[in-house]
Amino acid sequence: MRRVTLRDVAKATGFSINTVSRALSHKPDVSEETRETIVEAATKMGYRPNKLARSLRSNKTYTIGVIVADIANPYFGALVKGVEKEARKRHYSVILLNTDEDYERETEAIQVVLEEHVDGIIISPTQKEKETIKNLLQLGIPFVLFGRRFSDLATNYVVTDDVHGGFLATEHLILLGHRQIAMINGPLHISSAKERFQGYREALERYGLKQDQPLVTAGAVTMEDGYEVAKSLLNQNPRPTAIFAFSDFVSFGVMKAIREAGLKVPEDISVVGYDDNQFASCSEIPLTTVRVPKEELGISAAKVLKEQLADNQPIKQVELPVDLIVRQSTSSCNT
């Protein structure tokens, strides 16, 4: 089948090729009525932009690099979905790479997308080091951090209010009467883990409770991590009556360890997760969790990057709100 061209769309709509081109490129000097007519006709005709021609005209590739820490985690999958949805609306393509929380792979991933001459980058950094991000700043490559941020680097980012999220999760357990509240946290070099821990501490302080150091662990990012750490916590005396986990993924491992120990959720131990991924509400015991607007986070990151692709744009830093979603994995303390 012959490729549908701008000339074909122009002939079908009665507009000039220039007007059709500007309408399909979302230029501001085309009326909304004209744009809708042209877009509708182009869609019906099966028109697809010639990316090579666009690149030659604009010196852009109309691609963005997206680098995430763990593509197996549904949290990052939802973020990427949001980025891709917004990018598609802007006629951008996405190159996706995964680091598995490995800094060397992060370095390689950035090199790959730079070699592809992407127009910009959206990245969830491992945060084990920051040289890769510093290099992007020095190179002047437009980029946006999402889900994580560096407090000592002036960068664009879109994150969620993780301090408040940590507070909400811990306060919920306190109001249910729990006093032995454990936190199985992520690695503290990750900003979201650090901020959730801050929220956990603030809730304990607000209600006059002391932080019991043996109840706090860091470094868990997978279900296996949650399982192993929870087994250790369950051997403590007294054992915790509630556990707040870094993520839903970690929570699932925690609940497995509780079940294997012959205990029940929430009768013996309440569990709170974080993220509200698609499995949280349909697990055997629906999980109480802090809901992160994951897809919105990805959409916002893509919008910020689009703004940064224009010259002389100020740094933009966005923090989205979170909510506590109460389900059946938490209940009043029985001890």
Residue pLDDT tens, the chain, 335 long: 467 888 899 999 999 988 988 888 777 788 989 988 998 998 888 887 765 455 545 567 889 999 999 998 899 999 999 999 999 888 889 999 999 999 999 999 999 999 888 999 999 999 999 999 999 999 889 999 999 999 999 999 999 999 999 999 999 999 999 999 999 999 999 999 999 999 999 999 999 998 888 899 999 999 999 999 999 999 998 899 999 999 999 999 999 999 999 999 999 999 999 999 989 999 889 999 999 999 999 999 999 999 998 876 899 999 999 999 999 999 999 77
3-state secondary structure of 68: strand
- The C-alpha atoms of residue 267 and residue 269 are separated, in whole angstroms, by 6
Tokens for 123, please give them: 């990245």
Nearest to 109 by CA among 119, 120, 118, 96: 96
What are the beta bridge partners of residue 243?
182, 271
Domain 162-292 CATH class label: alpha beta
Q: Pairing between strand 288-291 and 270-275?
A: parallel
Catalogue the E-assigned strands of 208-269. Answer: 216-217, 242-245
Q: What is the CA radius of gyration of the chain?
A: 24
The answer to whether residues 145 and 67 touch, using CB atoms and an 8 Å cutoff, is: no
pLDDT of residue 153: 95
Max Cα separation, the chain? 80
Q: Which residues of 193-229 are buried (b: 16+ CB within 10 A; e: fewer)?
A: bbbbbebbbbbbeeeebeeeeebbbbebbbbebbbeb
Report cis status (omega within 30 of 0) of the bond before 142: no
**Annotated domain spans of the chain:** 6-48, 60-160+294-320, 162-292
Cα distances from 37 to residues 6, 21, 46, in angstroms, run 14, 13, 14
pLDDT of residue 5: 84
pLDDT of residue 56: 42
- The C-alpha atoms of residue 145 and residue 165 are separated, in whole angstroms, by 19
Assign domain 60-160+294-320 to its CATH superfamily: Response regulator (3.40.50.2300)
3-state secondary structure of 271: strand
- The C-alpha atoms of residue 144 and residue 303 are separated, in whole angstroms, by 10
| Residue 165: how many other CB atoms lie within 10 Å | 25
Assign domain 6-48 to its CATH superfamily: lambda repressor-like DNA-binding domains (1.10.260.40)
3-state secondary structure of 274: strand
Nearest to 217 by CA among 257, 245, 255: 245
pLDDT of residue 143: 97
CATH topology identical between 6-48 and 60-160+294-320: no
pLDDT of residue 52: 47
What are the beta bridge partners of residue 242?
181, 270
